[in-house]
Amino acid sequence: MDFKDCRSMKVVLVAHCALNQNSRLARCAELPAGVEELVAGLLKRGIGIIQMPCPELMVIALDREHVQIRSALESRPARAALRKLAGDLVYQVKEYEACGVKVLGILGKDGSPACGVGHTWRHEPGPGMGAFIEELAAEVRDQGLKTEISGMTDSDPQAALEIVDRWDGGGA
């Protein structure tokens, strides 16, 4: 199939809550809706956005205040569900790449017990990956993909855009 029309042939995967703060834990939203500067910046650069599923919502619940999130994500059934979500995303990455769409990378949510990349939350904040990003990174590696994964914060969308520009060979 020839996908050579007006599309940019570039996409990036983005943590769910960067596009939808309503998925965040109660009293943890940083913005009313989403990271507008990130979305606008990606669209201005001609980069499509793949919204990753919210692993905490999908595996625990929206009202998850009653649980210790990282512990809940470490259970055997939760890890199996996270692996399934990761496998579904990697399938999408492979489909895009098979059709010539460049998957620039994956933006996780630093500080998240699920989607942290450089730092996460276990019983307190610290270095390391969130439970979902661990599964996603393993699936990317196991499938032989070279897709980069980096963390972002809602408070610094410019840094996230700089990462995407680097992935895109210098950017817009």
The answer on pLDDT for 77 being more than 90 is yes
Average pLDDT on 31-41 reads: 86
Domain residue ranges in the chain: 10-167
**How confident is residue 1, by pLDDT bands cut at 50, 70 and 90?**
low
Q: Specify the residue for token string 């914060």.
A: 153
Q: Specify the residue for token string 């993909």.
A: 145
Residue 91: its pLDDT value, please?
98
pLDDT one-digit tens code per residue, 79-114: 999 999 999 999 999 999 999 999 999 999 999 999
**How confident is residue 122, by pLDDT bands cut at 50, 70 and 90?**
confident
The answer on pLDDT for 32 being more than 80 is no
- The CA-based angle 109-110-112, given to 5 degrees, is 75
Q: 10-167 in CATH: which number?
A: 3.40.50
Do 71 and 103 contact (CB within 8 A), yes or no? no
